[in-house]
Amino acid sequence: MAELLSLKVEESKEDISRAIAPVIDQAIQERSLQDKSAMSAVLATLIPEAISYQIKQAPEDIAKAIAPEIAPAIREQIKLDRAAIANVLAPQMGDAIKEQIKLEQEAMVDALYPVIGSTVARYIAEAIKDINEKIAKALSGQTIRRKIQAKLQGVSEGELIFKEAIASRVQGVFLIHKQSGLIISEAQPPEHQLESEMVAGMLTAIRSFVNDCIVQTGEVAELNDIEYGLSTIKLEVAGYCYIAVLIKGDHPPKQLVYQIRKTLSKIVLYYSKVVQEFDGDTDSVPQKIHQMLDDLIAISQIKKHQNLPLLQLFLIAIAGLIFLSLGWNFYQNFQGRQQENQVLNALDADPELKIYPWTVQVDQDTVTVRGKVPNPMLRYQAEKIVKNAVPNLKLNNQIIAPEKSSLHKLVEDEVNRVAETLNKMAGISITVKYVEGKVTVDGTVIEATDSQTIAQAFGNIPGVTSVVSSVQLQPLRIDTRIYFEQNSSKIKPEDVNTKLVEVQRFLTQYPQVHLNLVGHSDRTGQPSRNQRLALNRAESVQKALISMGIAPGRLNISANPAPPIDVTQDQPEWQQRCVIFYPIISPAYRP
């Protein structure tokens, strides 16, 4: 029988399927009625795999099939176990909000701005209310006056406080589309009109510059205030728009800032869709938006009027007198410092007097000058300069000028001090002798200009009448040379212990001197090879001197592929292969 069925299935599979399908359906139905648990056990293992297979084959069909049942299922589960639903969804809420912010940040801002702004403002208002209550208790007299005035004017006390607090004036209110920079609505006082489109373009450009160039990537920040002189542009941003308020005066009061934020909160809450779809057609903007901006202008027109009690006026008068007194003293001190500087600058401008220390003090109409000069002539000269600098002040001359007997001693001390200073300069070694105005200088210098410097330095000393210089010019030089074998850059041991020791002593004697080590080669071989060989010889000498304790910064090296210019072709070749030392004075040791 089984073989016959197999043959029949192979011959006509579709006929067999149509024949037995009703039988199978009836058998499954009857079996489910007889033993539902057994049928469930059989199908339970197949259903998950069947669903998984169908999801892979036709995910859209599966989604359409189960979508209508998801919402009822969630509602039913909330009724059965609300905590379970919360536990399942809570871990994903943060990621979902972050993703929504990335996809449409403006929509999230529109949704959260009214709630967050109102919440923060409420807590701040409560804190300010507590502070105001404490202040009201301390200023009970002013509180009573305000209550009476509020009753007479028929307004609330809070409104009166608000009117008194606002001292600034709004010059313009602009509601601007964030993306396009177009003016959605504006309000300006009639006596002061601004070019709204220009203002919007400027502010949009500034916001874009700050967000693109200053705010770091990943940060969420906005430009809040732009201050210029005594005016401020207050910016509040939310969603697809921002409001710009031009305020003239000191920093805008908190009450005005609160009204600005409250206005923007209402616009975002009730007209977010209109703002988002704004395309430049101002006729599509609801009249209520224009009215809210006009209200901000109207609020700022209120001026602060307050009648000060007599006690406060008296205290202000006392404070004014104290301020004037302090201001006058400050002016006197400032003027005195200026006059002191005038005297010091005048004394410093004189070449004979600028080398001496001076003390100048101005007290009201008198200037006191203290100092010490080597002779009475310089004392008189300084007195004359001070009188010319501040002719309106009396002079109290406290300048000390020694008698003639001690004059030569002061000049001699100054000569010795100048000589000591000159000997600290590189290449100068001198001795001096002073006898009754005459200075005799002996010694050596390494540069011709140093002789002129020495003579001029001693000639400028007050009391010196003549300078006789016997200074000799003795340039620094090192005649020692290091010679090398052919095709070698190795220093001979005997040169290390003799010639390099002499170079070391020279550098120790003249710490201000640097050396330029120039390597040379003979005329045999290629120029490029001789260049490398000459440089290697200079480097060998440099390393040897460094190992002997010479600072590397004092040794410069260079190479010349040819022999030294003072070695001719008739001289032996070994004299051509050498390193020559050229002393140079460090700029740090020159005046």
- 159-168, 223-232, 575-584, range with the lowest pLDDT: 159-168
Residues 578, 520 contacting (CB under 8 angstroms): yes
**pTM for the full predicted model:** 0.32
Mean of pLDDT over the chain: 78
* Residue of higher predicted confidence among 169 and 103: 169
Residues 6+ apart with CB under 8 A from 330: none
Rounded CA gap, 131 and 125, in Å?
10
- pLDDT confidence of residue 140: 55
Q: Is the dihedral of CA 53, 58, 59, 62 positive or negative?
A: negative
Query: Does the pLDDT value for residue 483 go beyond 90?
Result: yes
- pLDDT confidence of residue 135: 58
Query: What is the amino acid identity at position 511?
Result: P
Rounded CA gap, 127 and 50, in Å?
64
Query: Does the pLDDT value for residue 519 go beyond 90?
Result: yes
- pLDDT confidence of residue 10: 59
Residue with tokens 């009754």: 436
- pLDDT confidence of residue 213: 78
H or E element in which residue 520 lies = strand 513-520
Rounded CA gap, 261 and 117, in Å?
8
Show the tokens assigned to 328: 């006058």
- pLDDT confidence of residue 308: 45
Q: Is the dihedral of CA 362, 368, 374, 376 positive or negative?
A: positive
Give the pLDDT band (50/70/90) at residue 307: very low
- pLDDT confidence of residue 305: 40
- pLDDT confidence of residue 46: 67
Across 292-306, average pLDDT: 68
Rounded CA gap, 533 and 519, in Å?
8
Highest mean pLDDT among 218-222, 309-313, 461-465: 461-465
Residues 171, 247 contacting (CB under 8 angstroms): yes
Rounded CA gap, 120 and 123, in Å?
5
Residue with tokens 């693109």: 212
Q: Label residue 218 left, alpha or beta by phi (over 0 means left) and psi (-120 to 50 means alpha).
A: left
Across 58-77, average pLDDT: 73
Give the pLDDT band (50/70/90) at residue 579: very high
Highest mean pLDDT among 29-38, 180-189, 211-220: 180-189
- pLDDT confidence of residue 25: 65
Highest mean pLDDT among 59-73, 319-333, 349-363, 521-535: 521-535
Across 383-406, average pLDDT: 81
- pLDDT confidence of residue 306: 41
Give the SS3 label for residue 516.
strand
H or E element in which residue 469 lies = strand 466-473
Query: Does the pLDDT value for residue 474 go beyond 80?
Result: no
Q: How many residues does the chain have?
A: 591
The number of beta carbons lying within 10 Å of the beta carbon of residue 267 is 26
Highest mean pLDDT among 356-370, 466-480, 526-540: 526-540
Which one, of 196, 194, 189, 165, lies nearest residue 298 by Cα?
189
Query: Does the pLDDT value for residue 354 go beyond 70?
Result: yes
Burial of 38 (0-12, 13-18, 19+ CB in 10 A): exposed
- pLDDT confidence of residue 185: 92
Rounded CA gap, 480 and 501, in Å?
11
Diameter over CA atoms, the chain = 156
Which one, of 190, 376, 173, lies nearest residue 259 by Cα?
173
Highest mean pLDDT among 7-16, 112-121, 378-387, 490-499: 490-499
Query: Does the pLDDT value for residue 591 go beyond 60?
Result: no
H or E element in which residue 400 lies = strand 394-400
- 76-85, 133-142, 310-319, 442-451, range with the lowest pLDDT: 133-142
Across 323-335, average pLDDT: 79
From residue 221, give the alpha-carbon distance in Å to each of 175, 211, 247, 371.
19, 8, 22, 62
- pLDDT confidence of residue 167: 55
* Residue of higher predicted confidence among 561 and 250: 561
Full strand arrangement of the beta sheet holding 169-177: 183-187, 169-177, 241-248, 231-238, 225-228
Which one, of 553, 490, 485, lies nearest residue 516 by Cα?
553
Rounded CA gap, 73 and 239, in Å?
35
Query: Does the pLDDT value for residue 303 go beyond 50?
Result: no
Which one, of 23, 17, 26, 27, lies nearest residue 8 by Cα?
17
Burial of 354 (0-12, 13-18, 19+ CB in 10 A): exposed
* Residue of higher predicted confidence among 533 and 98: 533
Give the pLDDT band (50/70/90) at residue 393: confident
Give the SS3 label for residue 19.
helix
Across 412-420, average pLDDT: 88
Query: Does the pLDDT value for residue 2 go beyond 60?
Result: no
Residues 6+ apart with CB under 8 A from 291: none
Do the bridges between strand 513-520 and strand 555-560 make them parallel or antiparallel, or are there none, so unpaired?
A: parallel
Residues 252, 234 contacting (CB under 8 angstroms): yes
Q: Report the share of the chain in percent with pLDDT over 90.
A: 14
Show the tokens assigned to 259: 């009204």
Residues 6+ apart with CB under 8 A from 253: 165, 166, 167, 168
Q: Looking at residue 437, what DSSP letter applies?
A: T
- pLDDT confidence of residue 224: 82
